[in-house]
Amino acid sequence: MERTVNNFRQTNAFAMQYGLLLGGWGLLNLFIMILSFSQTFLSVVNTLMFIGSPVVATLLALRFRRNVTLKSEVFTLGRGFVFSLMMGIYAALWIAAGVFVYLSYFDHGYVFDVYEQMLKQPQVVEELSRNGFPLTMPDGSVLTPEELVAGMRGISAANYAGLIIYITVLSAPVFSLVIGLICRRTSPLKIER
């Protein structure tokens, strides 16, 4: 029983530390996303970082496995799953805190202003109209990009931060299962003497 408690404490301690790193990666990704509204070449970097986030999480989980087990020891799917899940939740807390502080005290509507300007660009308007925007609502009214941005402005910083945690709680178990499968070591490696 004591070994299980120590394993959990160790897993939790590493998950907190690596969750800070993964949260920093996520905050950097969001910062680049904000810059990509005015510097369009950064949208590629933003997309690559977003897609690469599960890869970064997997690399951190593999580093955790390397730090806590010998090559001759088993690393279970369960331990990999729990570590990845906890790391993702800790990262989400850091990202949510960063988003809340940024939107509450530093942004002053900048993100929404830049997003609205981007939606008004002729090539974006043309692309949106090809894809069925502005939307016709069931009551017959039309949702324009300006109304969409106005609706986004009405959402509080706490709701945006809460949304990050909510999405993480829903998606992290799936990613954690995949990462746990990648990181597990069922049979110890044979060490030659």
Residues in the chain where the model's pLDDT stays below 50: 1
Q: List the structure tokens of 154.
A: 């009405």
Stretch (H or E) spanning 141: none
| Cα dihedral 158, 18, 106, 154 sign | negative
Which residues touch 73 (CB under 8 Å, ≥6 apart)?
185, 188
pLDDT at 78: 93
pLDDT the model gives residue 19: 98
Whether the Cβ atoms of residue 89 and residue 180 lie closer than 8 Å to each other: no
Record the pTM: 0.86
Domain ranges of the chain: 2-183
- pLDDT, residue 1, reads 46
What span, in angstroms and rounded, lies between the C-alpha atoms of 177 and 122? 43
Let me know: does 146 contact 113? Beta carbons within 8 Å.
no
Cα 22 from chain centroid (whole Å): 8
- 3-state SS, 85-120, equals HHHHHHHHHHHHHHHHHHHHHHCCCHHHHHHHHHHH
Can you give the pLDDT at residue 190?
Answer: 58
Q: Is 181 helix (H, G, I), strand (E, B) or coil?
A: helix
Which residues have C-beta within 8 Å of that of residue 169, sequence separation ≥ 6? 89, 92
User: Residue 50's pLDDT is what?
Assistant: 95
Backbone angles phi, psi at 38, to 5 degrees: -105, -25
The SS3 of residue 142 is strand
